[in-house]
Structure 1
Amino acid sequence: MRLLMVCLGNICRSPLAEGAVRAHLDRHGLDWVEVDSAGTGGWHAGEPPDRRSIAVAASFGVDIRAQRARKLVRADFTHFDWLLCADRSVLRDVRAAAPAEARERAALLLEWAGQGTDAEDAAEIPDPYTGGPEDFRRVWDMVDAAAAGIVARIARGASGRMPG
């Protein structure tokens, strides 16, 4: 299984989601699952995550300092099984860029993880970029809960499957 976390610039929400999912997968011995992140825009390509993302992840024992922002590329649509998007605008942009056969493999991260609902904003992870530390903490709480849901979903689907 290959999962790509997607937000706008790949320095706040998607790096936090990638870090949280990796940490949960590691704790559950699901090292055969590949996780990466990307942004719909390339404004921050090559940069590390936002310092506030790094700080909040570190406060929970997750090190995301080595991650580097990158823009979503066409090959991502064939390489990844699921493209998990932070909010509806990102989902719309990902589906618009996707080849027809990949559009249905783009989903809202929280909904795919069993955390969101169909309510207008309930399944969206807000962009903390213009906020403060409390906004990054709120995003961490959301992606950490989603990571637990992702692990549960994968474990249910992988029952009987040997890692690797």
Structure 2
Amino acid sequence: MVSSFVSSPQDSSTPFDRIGGQARIDALVDSFYRRMDTLPEAKVIRDMHADDLGPVGEVLKRYLGEWLGGPKLYSQERGHPRLRMRHRHFQIGPAERDAWMLCMQGAVEEVIDDPALRSQLLNSFYKLADWVRNDDGNPHDAHN
């Protein structure tokens, strides 16, 4: 289970601190959803969302803040993340994971200046996105 971002043992600061706190996480999420809303390659995941991305963006800001070592605002409001359960009504396979990662990679590259932190974040985001998948994308394995 992917429940939180793992910090480097050599560095006592949290990724939340290294990113620059909640304001930078907010900028990351805003950049992510701007990409989701405009990139043609993201249509597969954009179509899963309501017209107004504002409310889901606020949830992701609180989740990522906590996941990266910041205040526990998400769990105080919504309880345990239970990401698989919360996403189970969406079909999430490799195409959806990759579209999500395309948006997140662009956001990380735009907002995060430190190359080592960018790499660490993208690796962790990929593991998170892959863990939420509930469809392997193989049409031969479709359940009836």
Query: Same fold by TM-score, threshold 0.5 exceeded?
Result: no
Task: Choose between structure 1 and 2 for higher RCO, CA contacts under 8 A separated by at least 6 residues.
Answer: 2
TM-score (normalizing by structure 2): 0.33
Q: Which has the larger radius of gyration?
A: 2
TM-score (normalizing by structure 1): 0.30
Query: Which structure features the higher share of helix residues?
Result: 2
